């Protein structure tokens, strides 16, 4: 093993660099990174499987409507919560949101212990959606408040790494225990959500004091709320960047929509020879699992070096590079079927994802004005919902375009997203710090 010794100082030096960068982050950021990770680990043991629970009692169509109601409620509350955090401060709204989450998980636990039907659990998911709608925009705005342009790419990269690691740990655990040990998982959720509420209430410092003209402590009425988002709507550069984000997120959600359908149809009777194991069936589900595993592992293992690489560099340029690689990888996956070829495609779009996620978040953070960060972050959350909807529409056009047409469409989305992203920031100086252009 002596041949490994020369690499150890290099590896330890990189780790020390990452730890040093973490220590330089604001305490609020460090607390938020930890609580987000804990919430992701425990939340993914239960929440991704609730659709199965609803479908058992009410059927797939009704289950979809039940889940969709939660998504709509979270979006609407998010719009209000974002504006509310601009007038009442971030911490108070975050505490309200985390408190609602604790209440939701307690109701779920009591329903599971008492053998109640899924109706109580559905009601709890609506309370959970309300909590997420309050806490998410306020938390995102708080991260921007206390970070610097130079540290944001690193901060968002670490946050993204924590989310993916939490997903990697939580989903398999939930898959093993959800069916027969749901109360145990919900008890764990109640405990961890209580810890997150405590940490938010006692360890997070208020990061935003409204200006005297913003009526501190006042809740925005409908007129004030509409005015807040009217001002956001006038920021052409931000809207262009948001549209580019929607197009790129459509590519990501293709994995679970028309890309999944393509793999399922093309790999019906596929067989691969695995050394030591012999011939094995390689169907669409296994191909999709291969893409997901490669993507998640590369993100978990590659975030730290990529974060160090991005620190101090112009995030706009690497955002555009990331968009391009992301689209190229997914377009390749639409045309390839061999395990090795799909693995290479997954490597390409994973590198693109590692590059574009933290840099785009950093660009967004630097573009928003301080006095309306909550509202801006709420609008930025649209990219995920609209991306899901457009990817679902891809199922409609998939039979018309076929694999080649959909691959070309994915490349077109990546190119369009890149052009829009660059267009939105073209007047900004490429100094490694992106400053807001005059609107």
Closest of 97, 126, 94, 124 to residue 108, by C-alpha: 124
Candidate CATH numbers 3.40.630.30, 2.60.40.420, 1.20.1250.20, 1.10.10.60; the one for domain 25-208: 1.20.1250.20
Is the distance from CB of 375 to CB of 83 less than 8 angstroms? yes
Closest of 94, 78, 63, 57 to residue 129, by C-alpha: 78
pLDDT at 27: 92
Domain with CATH 1.20.1250.20 in the chain: 25-208, 232-439
Q: DSSP code of 437?
A: P
pTM: 0.75
Q: DSSP code of 115?
A: T
Is the distance from CB of 151 to CB of 26 less than 8 angstroms? no
Question: Which two three-digit tokens encode residue 254?
Answer: 């293709």
CATH number of 232-439: 1.20.1250.20
Closest of 130, 97, 145, 157 to residue 360, by C-alpha: 157
Q: What's the CA gap between 349 and 255, in Å, rounded?
A: 11
pLDDT by residue, tens only, the chain of 439 residues: 434 444 444 445 556 666 777 888 889 999 999 999 999 999 888 887 787 788 778 876 777 788 778 888 988 888 888 888 888 889 999 999 999 999 999 999 999 998 777 889 999 999 999 999 899 989 988 998 898 887 887 888 888 888 888 888 887 888 788 878 889 999 999 999 999 999 999 999 998 877 555 544 455 556 666 777 788 888 888 899 999 999 999 998 888 777 877 887 887 766 566 665 656 667 777 787 788 888 988 988 888 788 888 877 888 889 999 999 999 999 999 998 888 899 999 999 999 999 999 889 888 888 888 778 888 888 888 788 788 788 878 877 878 888 899 999 999 999 999 999 998 877 554 434 433 333 3
pLDDT at 94: 95
Q: What's the CA gap between 33 and 28, in Å, rounded?
A: 9
pLDDT at 216: 46
pLDDT at 436: 38
Contacts of 135 (CB under 8 A, 6+ apart): 81, 93, 94, 96, 97, 98, 101
pLDDT at 304: 79
Closest of 288, 275, 282, 268 to residue 334, by C-alpha: 288
Q: What's the CA gap between 236 and 425, in Å, rounded?
A: 11
Question: Which two three-digit tokens encode residue 129?
Answer: 């959606």
The CA radius of gyration of the chain, in Å to the nearest whole number, is 22
Query: Tokens 């609107």 belong to which residue?
Result: 439
User: What contacts 24+ positions apart, CB below 8 Å, involve 179-182?
Assistant: 182/46, 182/112
User: Quick one: how far is CA 275 from the chain centroid?
Assistant: 37
């Amino acid at each position: 093993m002596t041949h490994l010794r020369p690499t150890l100082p290099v590896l330890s030096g990189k780790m020390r660099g990452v730890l040093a960068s973490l220590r330089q982050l604001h305490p609020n950021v460090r607390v938020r990174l930890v609580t987000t990770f804990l919430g992701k680990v425990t939340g993914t043991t239960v929440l991704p499987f609730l659709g199965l629970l609803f479908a058992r009692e009410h059927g797939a169509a009704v289950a979809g409507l039940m889940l969709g109601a939660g998504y709509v409620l979270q979006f609407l509350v998010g719009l209000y919560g974002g504006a509310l955090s601009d007038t009442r401060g971030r911490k108070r709204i975050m505490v309200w949101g985390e408190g609602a989450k604790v209440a939701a998980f307690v109701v779920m636990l009591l329903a599971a212990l008492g053998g109640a039907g899924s109706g109580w659990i559905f009601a709890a998911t609506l309370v959970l959606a309300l909590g997420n709608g309050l806490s998410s925009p306020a938390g995102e705005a708080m991260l921007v408040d206390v970070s610097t342009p130079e540290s944001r790419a690193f901060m968002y990269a670490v946050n993204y790494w924590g989310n993916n690691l939490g997903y990697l740990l939580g989903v398999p655990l939930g898959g093993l225990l959800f069916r027969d040990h749901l109360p145990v998982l919900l008890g764990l959720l109640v405990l961890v959500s209580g810890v997150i509420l405590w940490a938010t209430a006692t360890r997070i410092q208020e990061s935003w004091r409204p200006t005297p003209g913003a009526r501190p402590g006042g809740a925005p009425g409908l007129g004030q709320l509409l005015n807040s988002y009217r001002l956001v709507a006038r920021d052409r550069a931000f809207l262009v960047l948001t549209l580019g984000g929607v197009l790129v997120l459509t590519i990501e959600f293709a994995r679970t929509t028309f890309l999944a359908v393509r793999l399922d149809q093309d790999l019906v009777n596929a067989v691969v020879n695995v050394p030591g194991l012999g011939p094995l069936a390689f169907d669409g589900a296994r191909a999709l699992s291969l893409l997901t595993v490669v993507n998640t592992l590369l993100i978990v293992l590659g975030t730290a070096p990529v974060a160090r690489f991005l620190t101090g560099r112009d995030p706009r340029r690497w955002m555009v590079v990331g968009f391009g690689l992301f689209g190229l990888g997914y377009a390749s996956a639409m045309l390839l079927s061999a395990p090795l070829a799909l693995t290479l495609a997954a490597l390409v779009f994973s590198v693109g994802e590692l590059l574009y996620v933290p840099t785009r978040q950093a660009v967004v953070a630097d573009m928003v004005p301080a006095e309306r960060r909550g509202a801006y972050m709420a609008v930025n959350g649209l990219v995920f919902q609209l991306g899901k909807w457009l990817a679902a529409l891809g199922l409609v056009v998939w039979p018309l375009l076929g694999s080649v047409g959909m691959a070309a469409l994915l490349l077109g989305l990546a190119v369009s997203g890149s052009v829009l992203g660059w267009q939105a920031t073209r007047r900004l100086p490429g100094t490694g710090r992106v400053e807001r252009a005059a609107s």
